[in-house]
Every structure is written in C-alpha cells, then in structure tokens.
Amino acid sequence: MNTIHTKEAIRNYLETCTTQLYDNILPFWLQNAPDTKHGGFFHQFDRNGSLNSQEKGIWVQGRFTWLLSWLSNSAGSEKERSHYLGLAETGARFILDHAIAPNGRCYYLLGRSGEPLRQRRYLFSEVFTALGLHAYGSAAGDKESVEQAKRLIEVINHYLAHPELLESKYLPGVVSLRSHSMTMIMINLFQQMRSQSSNAEVKIGLTKRIEKQIDEFLRYFFHPSEEVVLEFSDPEGEIVDTPAGREINPGHSLETAWFLMEEYRYTKNHFYLERAMQIVDWAFARGWDTRYGGFFSFLDLYDHDSPHIEAAMKYWWPHTEALYASLLAYALSGKENYADYFLQVADYLFGSFPDPEYPEWFGYLSRDGVPASGAKGNLWKGPFHIPRSLKLCLDLRPLLGL
C-alpha cells in the first residue's frame, strides 16, 4: 500500500474511532455508570446494559475519575467541561469518603454505599486511586484530592521499598519474583502527574522518578537476546525457568511501549523511542495469532502450554493498547511497517469487539473470535482502555497530518 492510500486508510479508521468513542462508548458509561444516590460509579453490566451487581470496584472508580478529568481538559465548551468535572467529582468524593482503609491503603471492593468488602495485597488499587484523585484535583483545583493522591503515592513507595511488609504468596524463605506490571503502571502514573503539574521543579522530580522506573524495566524485564518482554524476573533480572518466569503478556508489552514513546515525546531521548519500537515489533511477531487474528492473552517464552486457561482468548484491552502503540510508532518514526501494524490491529479490533446489537464492546473472545462473554463491564473491564486508546489515537491527527 502506498503512502497516500495508507494515510487514507488511517484517516478512515480515525473516523471510526470518533464514532465509537463519542456515539457508543462514552454515552454508555456517562448514562449508566453514575450512582446518583450514593456517589461513585456502577460498572458491572450485562450485554444489554442491565446492571448485574451494585458492588463497586476501586480500580474502576479511580480509572473513570481519571478519564472524566482528562476529558474535561479538552472539552469543547465550558458546559461540557463542567459536566465531565461534575461526574469526576462524584467519583473522587466516593473514593475520599470510602476507599481509604485505616492503614492508609485502599480497599479493592466496596458495597454500593461504600461499605468495605475486600482488600488485596497488591498495590494496584492504590495506583488507580491516586491516578484518579490527582487528575481530578488538578483539573478542578481540589487540594484535598491532590494531597490524598500524594499520600497514596508515599504509601506505594513505602511498600515497594519494603516488599516484605506485604503478605507474600510464597512460604517464608522463598524469593519473590519482580513484577513488570507494577513498574509499568508507575511509569504511567508519574507521567500523568507530570502532565497535570505546572511546577517546573515538580516536573523535574517526576521525570527522575520516571527514568528510575524505566531503568528498572530495562534491567529486569526487557530481554533483547530473546526479543521479548517478560512479566516476571528474579531479583537480579535473570530469567526464571518456571511458568511465571516465562510468562509473556503482549498487552502489557505494548502498553509499556507507548509509555516509552510518550517519554520520548517529552524528553526527546531517542533511546526510548528505539526501545519502544523494538517492543512493538516483538509483540506483533510473537503475540499475533496468524491463524485467527488478534493477540494471544498470554504466551510462554519457550512455547510451553501456558497455565492460564484463557491464554488463547482475545481480550479487548491488548488490542486497544496495540492500536495506539502502533499508530504512535508510525507517527513518530514514519516507518511504514507501523502503519501496517495499525491497520492490521484496527481491522481485527473494529471487526470483532464492537457489539452489533447493543452498545459498548465485547471484552472476551474465544480464539476464533466468537464472543465468550457478553459482559460490558466487570471488576476489570470498564471505562478505561477503550476510551483512552480511541482518544489518544484521535489526538495524533496533527502529528500525522490528518
């Protein structure tokens, strides 16, 4: 495909992004998610949009609060901005009132009115809560939200520095593995905080924190000799020959790749762009299902069977991450293979995940592309990966000359 035809094909898919974002995805969540009685957001919906649980996961509360706050910054009118911020406020207030446990950490699951139901050992609830609170506080000028976000980050840093304080999955004396997902998510958290700050010293400090996280990623999870990003490593960054140690998650690889590309855009450090493009290449080479299309959810470094029974399934979110990662790589490098990647994943994504009968998208497909679940929302699938990717792709139009 020549450059003119490539640009036209990309333009057509960006129009699809616009339609899906503003006529499908956002209306579904803006209409169905807000709990006008108790605050916060509903997010557990069946295929037809009917609510199947009033329990509220903290991941979604933080993520949707972030999304709404982010959208408010590019709203087309003051009325639209106020609408987004008003909804974000109900999320932030619900979090502030109910999500923080007495020990300073966050709950994982709450009842409708905010009663605690579950708390997990992992730090993801704290990260997504900080993400949402800092975004809302920065957009709305709400100091309480910003300060609580900063306190949560200190809690996160404390436990990252002293992992022995977290309940281990292993018996005493067994060395725990390092996790790529935590390193990856901290890069994005600090990037978001930096973008929301107007203080030069704060920006410098956050850039240093990002550099530290990227250095850790490259040391422990980036393996050029194997042409792969692994999800876990031993404390020295060596490959562990166990199912966990050999685990590949193409979605996380692609998500990290575009975080690195965003850091290149900010710092102009070409090293980040080069590493990111390598990761995109590896993910498409190893993770793409050449028989049925789409990305596998999990793979094994040495091609053993994955312990994840859903390994061959096609989740929604790796494809949304691939959509933006490939388009951003093309926009920054001008290399046609990344445009080809974008069109490849766009063909599959828009042809497989949008529900032709009801609003929103399927989240879980069998390997051959048949929907395995009709759920439009649950504890993991909510208003985050899809709208974020679609909006980010649309924001690349000036860089693409479209």
Tens digits of residue pLDDT in 50-89: 999 999 999 999 999 999 999 999 999 999 999 999 999 9
In the 8-state DSSP scheme, what is residue 23? I
Q: Residue range 150-179: average pLDDT?
A: 84
Residues 6+ apart with CB under 8 A from 381: 316, 317, 363, 375
User: Is pLDDT of 169 > 80?
Assistant: no
Q: Give the per-residue pLDDT at 176.
A: 80
372 close to 366: Cβ distance less than 8 angstroms: yes
**What is the pLDDT averaged over residues 130-134?**
99
The whole-number average pLDDT for the span 368-391 is 98
Distance CA 195, CA 187 (A): 12
* Whole-number average pLDDT of the chain: 97
Mean pLDDT over 294-315 rounds to 98
Least Cα distance to 317 among 359, 361, 355 occurs for 361
- Structure confidence at residue 164 (pLDDT): 77
Pick the CATH number of 1-32+175-402 from 2.40.30.10, 2.30.42.10, 1.10.240.10, 1.50.10.10: 1.50.10.10
Predicted pLDDT of residue 167 = 75
Note the pLDDT of residue 22. Answer: 98
> Helix, strand, or coil here: 393?
helix
Amino acid at 324: Y
Rounded mean pLDDT of 315-329?
Answer: 99
Residue 170 — pLDDT band, cuts 50, 70, 90? low
Q: How confident is the model at residue 102 (pLDDT cuts 50, 70, 90)?
A: very high
pLDDT of residue 172: 66
pLDDT score of 315: 99
- Beta-carbon contacts of 2 under 8 Å, excluding residues fewer than 6 positions away, are none
* Residue 64: partners with Cβ closer than 8 Å, 6 or more residues away: 29, 33, 41, 43, 91, 132, 382, 383, 384
d(Cα 33, Cα 51) in Å, to the nearest integer? 9
251 alpha-carbon distance from chain centroid = 9
Which tens digit of pLDDT belongs to each residue from 186-239?
999 999 999 999 999 999 999 999 999 999 999 999 999 999 999 999 999 999
Closest C-alpha to 254, from 200, 184, 161, 163: 184
pLDDT of 165 strictly over 90: no
Residue 173 pLDDT exceeds 70? no
